[in-house]
Amino acid sequence: MTQEDFEIFSKNLSHLDNQGQAQMVDVSGKASTVRKAVAAARVRMLPETFAAIQAGNAPKGDVLGTTRLAGIMAAKQTASLIPLCHPLPLQKIEVLVTPDPELPGYQIQATVKTKAETGVEMEALTAVSVAALTLYDMAKALEKSIQIESIRLISKTGGKSGDYSQSD
């Protein structure tokens, strides 16, 4: 690829400079708007593991409370974990861990909200990812084959790219 071809190509890639090096996008000229993102994940396990967690009989203690707290803490650390993410003032972080006997396992959902120049999709995705990893860690003494599945963005509002909602 010639330098001219690269410059034409890279104009559409906001995270590359003119030399093709990764860079943080300058959002200083953007307006602060309310932005919200919702992400989800599933954690699948054996029925016996699910029953033990539901009964509060996991060797490491409060699996679900620790899972929720880990998700909240993770959202707040996203800029430290994901290169090129902007540190954001998060106004709301909610992590729900819902039992799903049909899996069997748990549905995890995180909602993150801010008023800023850039969105919070990565914060919501980081929250559910770390929450799912924490659930695994808290229950691995019961079962090593627990599966973390379907980490995904459910919806987002605000920003230049507009709203998004996952289609079923």
Catalytic residue annotation: 137
Rg of the chain in Å (alpha carbons): 19
Closest CA to 129 of 73, 49, 45, 58: 73
Annotated binding residue 15: no
CB 77 within 8 A of CB 69: no
Annotated binding residue 149: no
Closest CA to 39 of 168, 162, 151, 131: 151
Annotated binding residue 81: no
Whole-number Cα distances in Å, 42 to 4, 13, 32, 66, 100 = 45, 32, 32, 16, 9
Q: Which residues are annotated as a binding site for substrate?
A: 84-86, 122-123
Q: Which residues are annotated as a binding site?
A: 84-86, 122-123
